Amino acid sequence: MASPVPPASRRSAAKPAPGPGRPKDLGKRAAILDAAKRLFAREGFGGTSMDQIAAEAGVSKLTVYSHFGDKEALFTEAVRAKCEEMLPDDLFQIELEGPLRDQLRVIAQAFFALISSDEAISTQRMMMVPGNIDDNLKQVFWQAGPQRTHDAFAGLLQARVDAGELDIPDVPRAAEQFFTLIKGDLHGRMMCGFGERPGRGDVASHLDACVDLFLRAYGKR
């Protein structure tokens, strides 16, 4: 006959193994990101505190740190979230059907809407002020925003080159050229605060001309 199991041992054996920590509240995470996007654009990185973000999001500062770790990580996620909101990954899907020009036009419109938004203009102005933000954070911004977009677009261009639709000897450079064309004089004037925002018709004409020029340079002859 087996010896009886002591009560304490029985309790220990019956106790379930500890599971993973409580899942993060996705609603609170979204509220924190929204607050961070607004405050970083309005106040700059140095002028925004985790206390301000917590108050704006309606959560505790501990909750902010629990989700994002530190302010630099939150800034990175805020930049990435804004870019993904305005330029979702499916814009660059190579499986999309339809004429290449139409796809380039949609990407051009989404990109211009992103860079001309109030948040983007404020953030870029913040980046341009000497001493306002350190070089490491500038690199974080570049990788989370522009670099992600350039890489995704270069992937689309390479697929079109492989399919024989485009003739591009240097795909990464062509991707940079495309977005530089889209910015153009209109974006430069907005950055400097010249006059009123361009009208919808002016933007449409500008984007059409940019896409047509790009295709004339790299379209398969």
Q: What domain range includes position 101?
A: 87-218
Q: Which of 11-20, 116-125, 159-168, 206-215 has the highest mean pLDDT?
A: 206-215
Query: Where does residue 194 fall: left (phi above 0), alpha (psi -120 to 50 degrees), or beta otherwise?
Result: beta
Asked whether residue 155 is domain-assigned, the answer is yes
Asked whether residue 6 is domain-assigned, the answer is no
- Structure confidence by residue, pLDDT tens digits, 35-89: 998 898 788 788 899 999 999 999 999 999 999 999 988 988 888 887 777 777 7
Q: What is the mean pLDDT of residues 195-221?
A: 91
How far is 179 from 52, CA to CA, in rounded Å? Answer: 34
75 and 129 fall within a common domain: no
177 and 70 fall within a common domain: no
Question: In this structure, what CATH number is given to the domain that contains residue 185?
Answer: 1.10.357.10
Asked whether residue 9 is domain-assigned, the answer is no
182 and 130 fall within a common domain: yes
Asked whether residue 187 is domain-assigned, the answer is yes
Report the amino acid identity of residue 73. A
Domain end position, chosen among 35, 53, 81: 81
Domain end position, chosen among 81, 110, 125: 81
DSSP 166: B
Asked whether residue 127 is domain-assigned, the answer is yes
Both structure tokens of 28: 């609170």
Question: In this structure, what CATH number is given to the domain that contains residue 77?
Answer: 1.10.10.60
Q: Name the residue with higher pLDDT: 212 or 21.
A: 212
How far is 138 from 136, CA to CA, in rounded Å? Answer: 5
pLDDT at 11: 40
Asked whether residue 13 is domain-assigned, the answer is no
Query: How many angstroms separate the Cα of 142 from the Cα of each of 3, 149, 179?
Result: 68, 10, 14
Overall domain count for the chain: 2
Element (H, E) at 174: helix 171-192
How far is 47 from 137, CA to CA, in rounded Å? Answer: 14
75 and 167 fall within a common domain: no
Asked whether residue 4 is domain-assigned, the answer is no
pLDDT at 24: 66
Mean per-residue pLDDT of the chain: 82
pLDDT at 195: 67
User: pTM, whole model, 2 decimals?
Assistant: 0.71
Find all residues with CB under 8 Å of 10, minimum gap 6, and list them. Answer: none
Share of the chain above pLDDT 70, in %: 84
Asked whether residue 159 is domain-assigned, the answer is yes
pLDDT at 135: 73
Q: How confident is the model at residue 156 (pLDDT cuts 50, 70, 90)?
A: very high
How far is 163 from 150, CA to CA, in rounded Å? Answer: 20
183 and 109 fall within a common domain: yes
94 and 186 fall within a common domain: yes
Beta bridge mates, 15: none
Q: Name the residue with higher pLDDT: 221 or 218.
A: 218
Q: How confident is the model at residue 217 (pLDDT cuts 50, 70, 90)?
A: very high
66 and 92 fall within a common domain: no
Pick the range with the lowest mean pLDDT from 27-31, 113-117, 130-134, 167-171.
130-134
160 and 77 fall within a common domain: no
187 and 208 fall within a common domain: yes
154 and 64 fall within a common domain: no
